Amino acid sequence: MENLDILKRKLERERLARKQAEQILESKALELFEVNASLQKLNVSLEDQIDQRTKALQESESKYRNVINNASDIIYTTDSNGCFTFINPVGIKSFGFSEEEIIGKQFAHFVLESHQKQLLEYYINLRDQNKKNDYYEFPIRSKDGETHWIGQNVNRVEKPDGSIYFNAVARDITLRKITERQLEEAKEKAIRAQQAEQQFLANMSHEIRTPLNAIIGMSHLLKDTELDAKQSEYIDILADSASLLKGLVSDILDISKIDAGKAEINEESFDLIQLINKLSKTFANRANEKGLIFETHIDPIQNTFVLSDKQWLNQILINLIGNAVKFTSSGKIDVVVEKIKEDEKTKTVSFTVKDTGVGIKEEDKETIFYAFKQATTETRRKYGGTGLGLSIASKLVSLLGGTLELDSIEGKGSQFYFTLQFKHGRIEEKNAESIQEIGQKMTNSLSVLVVEDNLMNQKYILTLLDKWGIQHNIANNGLEAVEAFNNGNYDLIFMDLSMPIMDGYEATSKIRSLNKKQIPIIALTASTFLSKKQLALESGMTDFLAKPFTPEDLARKIKKHSLPQYKDDSVQNSELHFDTRLDVDSLNELYNGDHKHALDMFKTYLSLVDDELHMLTQAISKNNKASAKKQAHKIKPIFTMVGLNQITEHCEDLERALDTENNEMIQKFFLLIKDAVIHTKPIIDSNTKEIELYLNKTI
């Protein structure tokens, strides 16, 4: 019985356990059913989403392909070796080949042979230097043989496996290149036309100024003779007319020089107030003759010496004051000079010229500063003139760093004013000398060779030299000058530039090549153009005397270059001396009295210029335009550092020529650079020694 009870209890436990297990299984089955149902719903949802995404992707791909296929730009891809893997229809049309003829071919296959090497280098650099994108232009040849220029932006793309390919968007820029070439040709034509105009003006300058020099010179000589009242009156009329003609010629040449960018800034130290007072005295007499009141008002200035272009400032004021006197028939003229501010280094000064003259109409104010423009036709008829004065004054004020402005009321008068900033000049004590005093100090121990083909100018110069007791000989052309110099012993040569048989440039070069003492050679030039003066300096000349010149001008050149007691000792005392064949103004501004720095830069230039020029020569000879452009850009600053700014400009011209791949212009500017370096190296070497000598003396 006991065993039976145990068995029953055991069976009951098993039944209860089985029932509990069945309940658990039933619960789990229900949960599994519910999960399965959820999975079925999720699967249906995922299938819907996949269908939607697939449809959206297909639509996006379709839009993308439509954009690519209908794009106006060329779109293509290449592998890492530059072989086409895709190109859109615009690209196929531009290349002129079928898609089958393009895909798989290397990009360089379609590029002109002259650019294939550069293009391959471009892609290799883009691939290996890990650049993300870059722009490049190159010419391709289409299937029909036509050349097209392509400008492309390239993206370097890296895949997850580390391999790369290139995406590119390009455009046919052939029309732009043609336009650029046409513009460059037009620019070259304009430059040639401008050069022809300048040459014409230079020729006219010489042709007009040469006889004009004799006319003015002879009037000076006649005025020194015994004259009766009537003869003296005639000479005064002759001198005034010659002066007017000289002013007219100078105005036309000056405006041409300024417009061509050939105007020279000759910075010097001068007494500003002395200049104003001298002008005021001159014009006060003219104003008084017309019954006008003429007054000058000048602010007190501690140091009246300034550093600027004295000739330009003088011409500006002459034009403005001269106009005021000319166009004022009654009333008053005021010249006002006011100090705006002054510090240790600079002073700022305003200049005003006021009159009570005819004034200017409101509608004419905008054009009054134009060349050949006068207020009205009546003004030209009544007062004469070319209308260049205000144009020249305005341009010169601008070149000196200011702006010429105008206030005017028609019938009541005008006021012209401008403001300039000056560096402080060196205070000097110089006693003005009359021409007689200068001449008296010239002894007959001085021997001068005059090289001049114009008989009237010969007579003018020789008469003055005779008057001052100076020994002299005459040469009618450059060939005679070389022979005379070789056979004689001279202290100074005056050399005309334009002569038959042999001109002044060639004669000077030959004289300098002779193994004799290096005496001053002063160019007698009727041209006011910088290029002519630069040529003269490069040929070995020392200074210039512009025709027409006065006896005072001639005497001062003689005393400056031939009489030791009259040498300007300012350089020896305080300032660093740069050869006048260099851009002295820029060098003074660059080194600002730092002699040691200047010496170091000049020596550095001499040590590296040959190697740098050789590298440029190599690049040009190998037709490696990229390397040549890089080298031209690299060496530009070294010429500026020694005052050879003209060579710097040639380097810039060479860079532009290399950009346009104009081989004729490339050779032209390269030869200009090469020749200029060769001819100027002796100048730099000589000036380097001079600076070093100066430093040794001052230490």
Q: What is the 3-state secondary structure (H, E, C) of 425-450?
A: CCCCCCCCCCHHHHHHCCCCCCEEEE
Q: What is the pLDDT of residue 110?
A: 82
Name which of 83-97, 114-128, 403-417, 520-534 the model is least confident about.
520-534
Q: What is the pLDDT of residue 565?
A: 41
Nearest to 471 by CA among 455, 487, 488: 488
Is 70 exceeded by the pLDDT of residue 553? yes
- Higher-pLDDT residue of 577 and 451 is 451
Q: Is the dihedral of CA 356, 361, 364, 365 positive or negative?
A: positive
Confidence of residue 461 (pLDDT cuts 50, 70, 90): confident
Is 60 exceeded by the pLDDT of residue 262? no
Name which of 42-46, 146-150, 474-478 the model is least confident about.
42-46
Q: What is the pLDDT of residue 375?
A: 45
pLDDT in tens, 13-70: 777 777 777 777 777 777 777 777 777 777 777 766 666 666 655 555 555 555 555 5
Token pair recorded at residue 159: 């895949």
CA triplet 184, 186, 191: central angle to 5 degrees?
A: 95
Mean local confidence (pLDDT), 599-608:
80
Name which of 160-169, 352-361, 384-393, 521-530 the model is least confident about.
384-393
Q: 389-399 vs 229-259: helix axis angle to the nearest 10?
A: 50
How does the average pLDDT of the chain come out, rounded?
76
Mean local confidence (pLDDT), 293-313:
83
Rounded Cα–Cα distance for residues 234 and 242 (Å): 12
Q: Which 3 state secondary structure label does DSSP give 452?
A: coil
b/e code 353-367 from CB counts within 10 Å (16+ = b): bbbbbbbbeeebeee
Mean local confidence (pLDDT), 298-325:
83
Q: What is the pLDDT of residue 449?
A: 93
CA of residue 10 relative to chain centroid, distance:
116
Token pair recorded at residue 21: 């297990």
Neighbouring residues of 494: CB distance < 8 A, sequence distance ≥ 6? 448, 449, 450, 451, 452, 461, 522, 524, 545
pLDDT in tens, 324-335: 888 888 899 999
Name which of 239-253, 299-313, 620-634, 671-685 the model is least confident about.
239-253
Nearest to 620 by CA among 646, 658, 650: 658
**CA 67 → CA 89, 90, 224, 545, distances in Å?**
11, 11, 92, 73
- Higher-pLDDT residue of 414 and 70 is 414
Q: What is the pLDDT of residue 263?
A: 60
Q: Is the dihedral of CA 256, 260, 261, 265 positive or negative?
A: negative
- Higher-pLDDT residue of 421 and 361 is 421
Confidence of residue 358 (pLDDT cuts 50, 70, 90): confident
Neighbouring residues of 336: CB distance < 8 A, sequence distance ≥ 6? 296, 297, 298, 350, 351, 352, 353, 354
b/e code 212-248 from CB counts within 10 Å (16+ = b): bbbbbbbbbbeeeeeeeeeeeeebeebbeebeebbbe
Name which of 96-110, 206-220, 237-251, 409-423 the model is least confident about.
237-251
Nearest to 540 by CA among 465, 485, 612, 458: 485
CA triplet 534, 201, 249: central angle to 5 degrees?
A: 105
Q: What is the pLDDT of residue 299?
A: 84
Q: What is the pLDDT of residue 118?
A: 79
Is 70 exceeded by the pLDDT of residue 189? yes
Q: What is the pLDDT of residue 431?
A: 44
Q: What is the pLDDT of residue 453?
A: 85
Token pair recorded at residue 437: 């005093």
Is 50 exceeded by the pLDDT of residue 380? no
Q: What is the pLDDT of residue 406?
A: 87
Rounded Cα–Cα distance for residues 552 and 413 (Å): 38
How is 251-284 classified by DSSP, letter by letter? HHHHHHHHHTT------EEEEHHHHHHHHHHHHH
Mean local confidence (pLDDT), 486-498:
88
- Higher-pLDDT residue of 347 and 133 is 347
242, 212 in Cβ contact below 8 A? yes
Rounded Cα–Cα distance for residues 635 and 610 (Å): 11
Q: What is the pLDDT of residue 351?
A: 93
Mean local confidence (pLDDT), 594-622:
82
Q: What is the CA radius of gyration of the chain?
A: 42
Single pTM value for the model:
0.42
How is 30-61 classified by DSSP, letter by letter? HHHHHHHHHHHHHHHHHHHHHHHHHHHHHHHH
Rounded Cα–Cα distance for residues 184 and 663 (Å): 13
Is 60 exceeded by the pLDDT of residue 576? no
Q: What is the pLDDT of residue 336?
A: 92
Q: Which 3 state secondary structure label does DSSP give 575?
A: coil
Q: What is the pLDDT of residue 386?
A: 45
**Most confident stretch, 121-125, 409-413, 416-420, 553-557:** 416-420
Mean local confidence (pLDDT), 253-282:
72
Q: Which 3 state secondary structure label does DSSP give 650?
A: helix
Is 50 exceeded by the pLDDT of residue 187? yes
Q: What is the pLDDT of residue 172?
A: 82
Is 60 exceeded by the pLDDT of residue 433? no
Name which of 221-225, 317-321, 341-345 the model is least confident about.
221-225
The helix/strand count (H/E) of the chain reads as 22, 17
The domains found in the chain, sorted by start residue, are 71-172 (3.30.450.20), 268-424 (3.30.565.10), 435-570 (3.40.50.2300), 587-698 (1.20.120.160)
- Higher-pLDDT residue of 397 and 257 is 397
Rounded Cα–Cα distance for residues 76 and 341 (Å): 65
Q: What is the pLDDT of residue 400?
A: 85
- State percent of the chain over pLDDT 90: 6
Nearest to 605 by CA among 564, 577, 638: 638
- Higher-pLDDT residue of 213 and 439 is 213
Confidence of residue 494 (pLDDT cuts 50, 70, 90): very high
Confidence of residue 439 (pLDDT cuts 50, 70, 90): low
Q: What is the pLDDT of residue 531?
A: 53
Burial of 611 (C-beta count, 10 Å sphere; 0-12/13-18/19+): exposed
- Higher-pLDDT residue of 266 and 198 is 266
Name which of 20-24, 86-90, 386-390, 486-490 the model is least confident about.
386-390
> Identity (one letter) of the amino acid at 675?
D
**Most confident stretch, 8-22, 42-56, 544-558, 607-621:** 607-621
The widest CA-to-CA distance across the chain, in whole angstroms, is 184
